[in-house]
């Protein structure tokens, strides 16, 4: 009878647990309504179901914003995104565990990713759709220095450790009239492996004319002190005078750091949504048809184009998902790439996709079947 | 003679007094040092995390549609995920664990019992990440299934079984031999002796062991990271879709710099501790209600 009593208690607990499952609410509209005021678009008609994505953490804030807005107007749709990193995202996508992947770099053929993605999509091509443009800021903390201009060669010099003080003649030559301290330059870098590091070193390698020699990689090969994550490096710069780092624009903004202007040869360019957009337009299409992988031109001398940036792709199957998921995927991506959504991303430190690229992305989304 | 010596006992020497004081002080110091991290953790969590717990939405709403820039939403999705996974884990692990312990104590003799006992010891030493990867290889690699809540439960079962086996075994061994022999003497069959004499006697100890096991698996993070991707919306289906849990909720917002997300991390951590505490209190209650009256 003791056991009977136990089983009664256990049954009671189980019933309570089951009853609890019925009383939660997914409806957070009251708190998020103020944020997601984008009007519903005709072409992103609401689909239903659940969509799972995984990958790049560089686009996390952007896609969360889009998910928030999208699910705010489509109450029957759920989109999950786990920012576990580009490599993991691609792996999970190719393993069939998620419906789309977010990645800082397009699928790589030499690593077998393209072939694996094709198998995963039941012998249909996977497409790389550029969706989020994340500028990388060269953020500094020098008292009294409101404006700092750097060329790629000088930036590379700072980050390799060749240029050691702020008053170095190379920096002074670019910033005539600025009050540069004689203090040593303190460089912070990302101690974890990061797409930001990879893209920043790609830029230095591509544009510095040989000053940066190390091969671009997710791990940092320059000088300085390591800090974990974007949060760590931006906090480091904020709390250390005369320091400098490279970090996503949003973090530089959130922490109110100084942001260097970059002079690629066409004059100093300030980091704005517009100037980044110009650089993205200058990028060349590297894929075939609707596979929209971009080849960024880091050496662009176009006036007013800010060239230090990374593009995150959504990697999707062109065909091969089941019908419900496909519908939801198209509906969500259409919302994500819409002008209003992209425009809204600028306030949180991303640059909107320029229209020239956006129309291509839109066409590709329409072509998913 | 004896009384005489006791009355004329020499006063305790100073060195002994000193040693006594030093030892007493050392004991108290150890106690305080051991308590510092515990109190510190609880204090920090309450100070930083209590704010959101007062909002009823924390207990009834999910994080759907909430970004790290927006305040609001709740932890309901994660609480329910953690509870469901723990419940299913317990439903599988408790019968298996208690059954194994009964076998080891009541029936097990010779080589097989030694092998089982050894295996349980080995299982105790398996790190959670290894258990998670084993289930990953089995569930996703071999069967080709998706990452779902039930797979997490399976990995947690591996971690919970040895805890339950060991504690239940100890409790069963504490049941006096006399009780069993008395039952046998009255002609009660062995299975009936176990069911109605041994288990009820050890009941409260077994429940405590189960609760310890549950508390351990509820805070376990490695299987969740590998097998249970986070979701911001409520999902109560263990066999389909991403499912949130409190540890993954903490992990998700951990890297955030913005205040709304950071606040939620502290609150989720406090919620997890509260949840485990409530469960162990419930366990105490159950074991008190269900235990054999000890008064004779």
Cα separation, A292 vs A127, whole angstroms: 7
Q: Do A130 and A141 lie in a common domain?
A: no
pLDDT at A4: 64
Q: How many domains does chain A have?
A: 2
Most A CBs within 10 A among B62, B63, B64, B141, hence the mutation to make, goes to B64
Q: Do A70 and A98 lie in a common domain?
A: yes
Q: What is the DSSP string of A208-246?
A: STTS--SPP-SS--SSSEEESHHHHHHHHHHHSTTEEEE
Determine, yes or no, domain membership for B199.
yes
Instruction: Say whether B65 and A9 touch across the interface (CB within 8 A).
Output: no
Cα separation, B209 vs B173, whole angstroms: 14
Closest-CA residue of B relative to A1 is B196
Taking 70 as the threshold, does the pLDDT of residue B146 lie above it?
yes
Q: Is A19 on the interface with B (CB under 8 A)?
A: no
pLDDT at B83: 92
Which of A25, A67, A229 lies at the smallest CB-CB distance from B60? Answer: A25
Over residues A104-124, the pLDDT tens digits come to: 888 888 888 899 999 999 999
Q: At A105, is the secondary structure helix, strand, or coil?
A: coil
Structural domain range at position A332: 2-134+288-293+313-367
Determine, yes or no, domain membership for B25.
no
What's the mean pLDDT in B31-57? 92
Determine, yes or no, domain membership for A248.
yes
Q: Do A268 and A325 lie in a common domain?
A: no
Over residues B213-223, the pLDDT tens digits come to: 888 899 899 99
Determine, yes or no, domain membership for A252.
yes
Query: What's the CATH code of the domain at B241?
Result: 1.10.3720.10
What's the token pair of residue B40?
A: 């510190």
Taking 60 as the threshold, does the pLDDT of residue A39 lie above it?
no
Contacts of B102 in chain A (CB under 8 A): none
Determine, yes or no, domain membership for A300.
no
What's the mean pLDDT in A27-38? 49
Instruction: Say whether B140 and A6 touch across the interface (CB within 8 A).
Output: no
Determine, yes or no, domain membership for A184.
yes
Tell me which residues of chain A, numbers 142 to 161, contact chain B at a CB-CB cutoff of 8 Å. Answer: none
What's the mean pLDDT in B236-263? 86
Q: At A191, is the secondary structure helix, strand, or coil?
A: coil
Determine, yes or no, domain membership for B49.
no
Q: What is the DSSP string of A116-170?
A: HHHHHTTSS-EEEEEEEEEEEEEEEE-TT----EE-HHHHHHHHHTS--BTT-HH
Q: Do A35 and A116 lie in a common domain?
A: yes
Determine, yes or no, domain membership for A326.
yes
Taking 50 as the threshold, does the pLDDT of residue B271 lie above it?
yes
Q: Do A90 and A183 lie in a common domain?
A: no
How open is the CA angle B271-A9-B284, to the nearest 5 degrees?
A: 55
B273 vs A23, higher pLDDT:
B273
Determine, yes or no, domain membership for B55.
no
| B179 to chain A, closest Cα gap in Å | 16
- Determine contact, residues A46/A76, Cβ cutoff 8 Å: yes
Q: Do A163 and A115 lie in a common domain?
A: no
Q: Helix B128-136 crosses helix B149-174 at what angle (to 10 degrees)?
A: 130
Q: Do A260 and A154 lie in a common domain?
A: yes
The continuous run of DSSP H or E covering B199 comes out as: helix B199-218
Taking 90 as the threshold, does the pLDDT of residue B24 lie above it?
yes
Q: Percent of chain B at pLDDT above 70?
A: 95
Which of A2, A64, A251 lies at the smallest CB-CB distance from B68? Answer: A64
If pLDDT is split at 50, 70 and 90, which confidence band does A225 have?
very high
Average pLDDT score over chain B: 89
Over residues A60-88, the pLDDT tens digits come to: 889 989 999 998 888 888 899 988 888 88
pLDDT at B3: 52
Instruction: Say whether B203 and A254 touch across the interface (CB within 8 A).
Output: no
How open is the CA angle B199-B205-B206, to the nearest 5 degrees?
A: 60
Determine, yes or no, domain membership for A282.
no
Instruction: Say whether B66 and A20 touch across the interface (CB within 8 A).
Output: no
Determine, yes or no, domain membership for B65.
no
Q: Is A337 on the interface with B (CB under 8 A)?
A: no
pLDDT at A6: 63
| B293 to chain A, closest Cα gap in Å | 11
pLDDT at A38: 44
pLDDT at B25: 96
Q: Do A163 and A220 lie in a common domain?
A: yes
Cα separation, B4 vs B10, whole angstroms: 12
If pLDDT is split at 50, 70 and 90, which confidence band does B51 have?
confident
What's the mean pLDDT in B9-36? 92
Most B CBs within 10 A among A35, A68, A328, A349, hence the mutation to make, goes to A68
| B116 to chain A, closest Cα gap in Å | 26
pLDDT at A100: 94
pLDDT at A31: 42
Taking 60 as the threshold, does the pLDDT of residue B1 lie above it?
no
Which of A28, A32, A229 lies at the smallest CB-CB distance from B255? Answer: A229
Average pLDDT score over chain A: 85
- Determine contact, residues A53/A79, Cβ cutoff 8 Å: yes
CA A95 to chain centre: 23
Contacts of B252 in chain A (CB under 8 A): 82-83
What's the mean pLDDT in B230-235? 89
Taking 70 as the threshold, does the pLDDT of residue B7 lie above it?
no
What's the mean pLDDT in A325-337? 92
Cα separation, B264 vs B272, whole angstroms: 12
Closest-CA residue of A relative to B194 is A3
What's the mean pLDDT in B165-177? 93
Cα separation, B157 vs B131, whole angstroms: 9
Q: Do A124 and A206 lie in a common domain?
A: no
Most B CBs within 10 A among A3, A10, A23, A31, hence the mutation to make, goes to A31
What's the mean pLDDT in B249-264? 83
pLDDT at A237: 94
Taking 80 as the threshold, does the pLDDT of residue A41 lie above it?
no
Q: Do A122 and A141 lie in a common domain?
A: no
Q: Do A142 and A273 lie in a common domain?
A: yes
Give me the torsion for CA of A40, A46, A51, A56, rounded to 10°.
Answer: -20
Q: Do A204 and A82 lie in a common domain?
A: no
Instruction: Say whether B257 and A234 touch across the interface (CB within 8 A).
Output: yes
Determine, yes or no, domain membership for A69.
yes
Determine, yes or no, domain membership for A89.
yes
Structural domain range at position B177: 80-289
Taking 50 as the threshold, does the pLDDT of residue B295 lie above it?
no
pLDDT at B23: 96
What's the mean pLDDT in B199-226? 89
Over residues B103-133, the pLDDT tens digits come to: 999 998 889 999 999 999 999 999 999 999 9
What's the mean pLDDT in A148-174? 92
If pLDDT is split at 50, 70 and 90, which confidence band does A35 have?
very low
Determine, yes or no, domain membership for B63.
no
Residue whose token pair is 């202007």:
A261
Contacts of A57 in chain B (CB under 8 A): 255
Residue whose token pair is 């678009």:
A41
What's the mean pLDDT in A185-214? 89
- Give exposure, A59-85, as e/b (b: 16+ Cβ within 10 Å): bbbbbbbbbbbbbbbbeebbbbbbbbb
Tell me which residues of chain A, numbers 88 to 127, contact chain B at a CB-CB cutoff of 8 Å. Answer: 95-98
Determine, yes or no, domain membership for B58.
no
Determine, yes or no, domain membership for B21.
no
Closest-CA residue of A relative to B146 is A97
Q: How many domains does chain B have?
A: 1
């Amino acid at each position: 009878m003791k056991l009977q009593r136990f089983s009664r208690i256990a049954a009671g607990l189980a019933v309570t647990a089951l009853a609890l499952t019925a009383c939660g609410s997914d409806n957070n509209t009251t708190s998020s309504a103020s944020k997601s005021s984008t009007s519903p678009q005709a072409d992103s008609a609401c689909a239903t179901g659940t969509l799972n994505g995984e990958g790049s953490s560089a686009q996390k804030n952007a896609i969360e914003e889009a998910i928030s807005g999208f699910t705010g107007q489509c109450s029957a749709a759920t989109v999950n995104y786990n920012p576990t990193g580009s490599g993991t995202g691609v792996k999970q996508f190719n393993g069939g565990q998620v419906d789309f992947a977010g990645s800082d770099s397009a699928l790589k053929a030499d690593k077998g990713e393209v072939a694996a993605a094709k198998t995963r999509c039941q012998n249909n091509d996977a497409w790389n759709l550029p969706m989020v443009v994340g500028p990388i800021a060269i953020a500094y903390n020098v008292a009294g220095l409101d404006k700092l201009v750097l060329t790629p060669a000088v930036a590379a010099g700072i980050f390799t450790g060749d240029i050691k003080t702020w008053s170095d003649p190379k920096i002074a030559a670019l910033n005539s009239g600025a009050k540069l301290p004689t203090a040593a330059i303190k460089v912070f870098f990302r101690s974890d492996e990061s797409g930001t590091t990879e893209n920043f070193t790609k830029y230095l390698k591509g544009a510095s004319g040989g000053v940066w020699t190390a091969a671009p990689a997710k791990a940092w090969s320059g000088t300085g002190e390591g800090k974990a994550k974007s949060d760590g490096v931006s906090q480091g710069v904020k709390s250390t005078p005369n320091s400098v780092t490279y970090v996503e624009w949003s973090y530089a903004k959130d922490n109110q750091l100084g942001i260097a202007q970059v002079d690629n040869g066409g004059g100093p360019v300030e980091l704005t949504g517009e100037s980044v957009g110009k650089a993205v337009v200058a990028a060349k299409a590297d894929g075939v048809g609707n596979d929209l992988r971009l080849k960024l031109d880091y050496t662009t001398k176009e006036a007013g184009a800010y060239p230090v940036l990374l593009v995150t792709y959504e990697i999707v199957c062109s065909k091969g998902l089941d019908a419900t998921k496909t519908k939801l995927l198209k509906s969500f991506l259409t919302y994500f790439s819409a002008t209003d959504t992209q425009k809204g991303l600028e306030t949180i430190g991303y640059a909107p996709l320029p229209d020239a690229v956006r129309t291509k992305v839109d066409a590709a989304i329409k072509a998913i079947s | 003679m004896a009384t005489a010596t006791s009355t004329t006992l020499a006063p305790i020497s100073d060195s002994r007094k000193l040693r006594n004081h030093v030892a007493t002080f050392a004991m108290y110091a150890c106690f305080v040092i051991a308590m510092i991290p515990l109190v510190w953790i609880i204090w920090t969590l309450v100070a930083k995390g209590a704010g959101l717990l007062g909002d009823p939405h924390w207990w009834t709403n999910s994080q759907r549609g909430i970004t790290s820039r927006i305040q609001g939403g709740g932890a309901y999705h994660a609480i329910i995920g953690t509870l469901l996974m723990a419940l299913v884990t317990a439903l599988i692990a408790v019968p298996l664990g208690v059954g194994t312990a009964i076998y080891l104590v009541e029936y097990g003799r010779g080589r097989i019992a030694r092998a089982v006992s050894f295996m349980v010891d080995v299982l105790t030493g398996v790190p959670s990440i290894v258990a998670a990867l084993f289930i990953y290889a089995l569930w996703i690699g071999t069967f080709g299934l998706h990452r779902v809540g039930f797979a997490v439960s399976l990995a947690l079962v591996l971690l919970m079984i040895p805890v339950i086996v060991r504690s239940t075994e100890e409790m069963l061994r504490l049941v006096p031999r006399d009780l069993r022999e008395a039952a046998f003497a009255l002609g009660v069959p062995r299975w009936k002796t176990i069911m109605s004499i041994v288990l009820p006697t050890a009941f409260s100890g077994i429940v405590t062991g189960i609760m310890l096991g549950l508390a351990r698996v509820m805070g376990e993070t490695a299987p969740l990271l590998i097998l249970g991707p986070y979701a911001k919306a409520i999902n109560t289906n263990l066999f389909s879709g991403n499912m949130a849990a409190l540890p993954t909720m903490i992990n998700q917002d951990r890297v955030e710099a913005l205040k709304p997300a950071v606040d939620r991390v502290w609150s989720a951590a406090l919620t997890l501790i509260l949840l485990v505490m409530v469960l162990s209190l419930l366990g105490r209650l159950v074991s008190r209600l269900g235990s054999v009256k000890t008064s004779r």
